[in-house]
C-alpha cells in the first residue's frame, strides 16, 4: 500500500470522500448499524499510558472491580434485550486471572451460545489468549494506538510497539476477529503517522478498527494538550473505509465526546455514519461504576434513542445481530 495514494486521499475534498465512504459502507453492510453492549468491568490498570486516566499513577481515580456474577448479570441484561454482541472491557488488570476470564466467557456462552463475545483487556501472555479463544471468545480488541514506534514507546512506559504488534498478529493466527485502532491528534503525531496507522491496519487485515480523537485527561501527563480535530477523525474514518473496505468501524464514544453540547450527539453520529462507521457500542456498565471509567475527561455516553434518531435520518437501520467480520462470514460461506 503506497503512502502517496493515502496522502492523495487526505487531499480530496471532504464531500467526495464521504460520498465514497458511505457508498462502500452501504454496499457491504446493507445499510445496517450494529449495536454492541459494552461492560467496562474494571478501571484498575497496571500500565501508565501518558494519555489515559486509568493509568496506575492516577491517585485521583476511584477504582472499581465488578465481580463475576455482576459481570454476568450485566451481560444477561444485554442479551435479554436481544443484543448479540457483548464487549467486556477493562484496564490491564491481572486481578482477573485467566481462569476467571474463562469462567465469565463460559458462563455467558452457556446462557446464550449464539452471542458474540469481544474481549478488550489488554496485554497478556500468549498462552492466555489461546485459552480465552477456546473458552468461547469470538473477538479481541487491542488498539495499536499509534504505529509510530518511537512515539508509541515514549507514551507507553513499560510497553513497546514490537510486543503490541506481535500480539495483534498472534490474535489473528489464533482465530479471533481482531480489532486494532488509533488515536487521532496525539501530541507530537503528524499526518504521516496517521497514514501509517491505516497502512498498518491494512497489513494486519483488521476485522474492526476503533478510530477516535485524543481527548486530554486532567490527571495525566498529557493534560492541557489540545483535543484531536473532529474533521481529521472523520477523514481518517472515511479513508480507512475506502482503503480497507470491510472492517467493522465504530462511531467511537471519544468522537461523540469531543463536543460539550449534548444536543450535538445526533449530528456527530450522523457524520460518523456518513464517513463509514457501521457500529455503535452502548455502555451497560452500572452507573455507579461508569462515572469512574475516566479514560479521558467529559466522557459522554450514547443511548439507543439517539443512535436510532441519527441512523434513521440517514435511511439506516439499527441491528442487534452479531454483525460478524465480513471476512469471517465469507470464509464460513466458502466452507459450506
Candidates 237, 143, 147; CA nearest to 199 is: 147
* Nearest distance in Å: CB 94, ligand SF4: 12
* Nearest distance in Å: CB 121, ligand SF4: 9
Using CB under 6 A as the binding rule, whether residue 238 contacts ligand SF4 is answered as no
Question: Which stretch, 44-52, 97-105, 238-246, 254-262, contacts ligand SF4 (CB under 6 A)?
Answer: 44-52
Q: Partners of 108 in the beta sheet?
A: none
Tell me the C-alpha distance between 207 and 204, whole Å. Answer: 9
Choice between 45 and 195, CB closer to ligand SF4: 45
At 254, list the grid cell.
471519544
Question: Which stretch, 50-58, 74-82, 264-272, 324-332, contacts ligand SF4 (CB under 6 A)?
Answer: 50-58
Q: Are 177 and 141 in contact (CB under 8 A)?
A: no
Using CB under 6 A as the binding rule, whether residue 141 contacts ligand SF4 is answered as no
Using CB under 6 A as the binding rule, whether residue 122 contacts ligand SF4 is answered as yes
Using CB under 6 A as the binding rule, whether residue 55 contacts ligand SF4 is answered as yes
Site string for ligand SF4, 83-102 (x = CB under 6 A): --------xx----------
Choice between 45 and 249, CB closer to ligand SF4: 45
φ, ψ of residue 90 to 5 degrees: the values are -160, 175
* Nearest distance in Å: CB 179, ligand SF4: 14
Tell me the C-alpha distance between 204 and 197, whole Å. Answer: 10
Question: Which stretch, 42-50, 160-168, 221-229, 253-261, contacts ligand SF4 (CB under 6 A)?
Answer: 42-50
* Nearest distance in Å: CB 106, ligand SF4: 25
User: Of 17, 38, 39, 49, which lies in the binding site for ligand SF4, with binding defined by CB under 6 A?
Assistant: 49
Tell me the C-alpha distance between 31 and 310, whole Å. Answer: 13
Question: Which stretch, 27-35, 43-51, 255-263, 303-311, contacts ligand SF4 (CB under 6 A)?
Answer: 43-51
Using CB under 6 A as the binding rule, whether residue 228 contacts ligand SF4 is answered as no
At 87, list the grid cell.
464487549
Buried b / exposed e over 106-145, threshold 16 CB at 10 Å, is: ebbbeebeebbbbbbbbebeeeebbbbbebbbbbbbbbbb
Tell me the C-alpha distance between 279 and 237, whole Å. Answer: 12
Q: Are 82 and 322 in contact (CB under 8 A)?
A: no
**Chain centre distance of CA 151:** 20
Return the DSSP state at 1. Answer: -
Question: Which stretch, 47-55, 60-68, 182-190, 316-324, contacts ligand SF4 (CB under 6 A)?
Answer: 47-55
Candidates 332, 326, 120; CA nearest to 205 is: 326
Choice between 61 and 277, CB closer to ligand SF4: 61
Tell me the C-alpha distance between 116 and 109, whole Å. Answer: 8
φ, ψ of residue 334 to 5 degrees: the values are -70, -30
* Nearest distance in Å: CB 95, ligand SF4: 14
User: Of 45, 86, 194, 269, which lies in the binding site for ligand SF4, with binding defined by CB under 6 A?
Assistant: 45
Catalog residues that contact ligand SF4 under the rule CB under 6 A.
45, 47, 49, 52, 54-55, 91-92, 122
Amino acid at each position: 500500500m503506497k503512502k502517496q495514494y493515502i496522502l492523495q486521499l487526505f487531499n480530496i475534498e471532504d464531500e467526495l470522500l464521504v460520498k465514497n465512504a458511505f457508498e462502500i459502507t452501504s454496499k457491504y453492510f446493507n445499510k445496517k448499524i450494529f449495536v454492541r453492549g459494552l461492560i467496562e468491568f474494571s478501571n484498575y490498570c497496571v500500565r501508565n499510558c501518558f494519555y489515559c486516566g486509568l493509568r496506575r499513577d492516577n491517585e485521583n481515580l476511584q477504582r472499581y472491580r465488578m465481580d463475576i456474577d455482576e459481570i454476568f448479570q450485566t451481560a444477561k441484561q444485554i442479551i435479554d434485550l436481544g443484543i448479540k454482541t457483548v464487549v467486556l472491557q477493562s484496564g490491564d488488570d491481572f486481578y482477573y486471572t485467566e481462569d476467571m476470564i474463562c469462567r465469565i466467557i463460559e458462563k455467558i456462552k452457556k446462557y446464550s451460545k449464539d452471542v458474540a463475545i469481544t474481549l478488550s483487556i489488554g496485554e497478556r501472555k500468549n498462552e492466555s489468549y489461546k485459552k480465552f479463544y477456546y473458552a468461547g471468545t469470538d473477538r479481541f480488541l487491542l488498539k495499536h494506538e499509534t504505529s509510530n514506534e518511537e512515539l508509541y514507546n515514549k507514551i507507553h512506559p513499560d510497553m513497546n510497539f514490537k510486543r503490541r504488534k506481535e500480539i495483534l498478529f498472534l490474535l489473528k493466527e489464533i482465530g479471533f476477529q481482531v480489532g486494532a485502532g488509533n488515536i487521532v491528534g496525539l501530541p507530537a503525531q503528524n499526518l504521516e503517522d496517521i497514514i501509517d496507522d491505516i497502512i498498518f491496519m491494512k497489513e494486519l487485515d483488521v476485522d474492526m478498527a476503533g478510530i477516535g480523537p485524543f481527548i486530554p485527561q486532567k490527571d495525566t501527563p498529557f493534560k492541557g494538550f489540545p483535543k484531536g480535530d473532529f474533521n481529521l477523525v472523520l477523514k481518517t474514518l472515511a479513508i480507512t473505509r475506502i482503503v480497507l473496505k470491510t472492517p467493522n468501524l465504530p462511531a467511537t464514544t471519544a468522537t461523540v465526546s469531543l463536543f460539550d453540547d449534548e444536543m450535538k450527539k445526533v449530528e456527530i453520529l450522523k457524520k460518523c455514519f456518513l464517513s463509514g462507521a457501521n457500529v455503535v457500542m452502548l455502555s451497560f456498565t452500572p452507573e455507579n461504576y461508569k462515572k469512574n471509567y475516566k479514560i479521558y475527561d467529559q466522557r459522554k455516553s450514547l443511548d439507543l434513542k439517539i443512535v436510532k434518531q441519527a441512523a434513521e435520518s440517514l435511511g439506516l437501520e439499527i441491528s442487534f445481530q452479531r454483525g460478524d467480520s465480513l471476512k469471517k462470514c465469507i470464509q464460513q460461506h466458502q466452507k459450506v
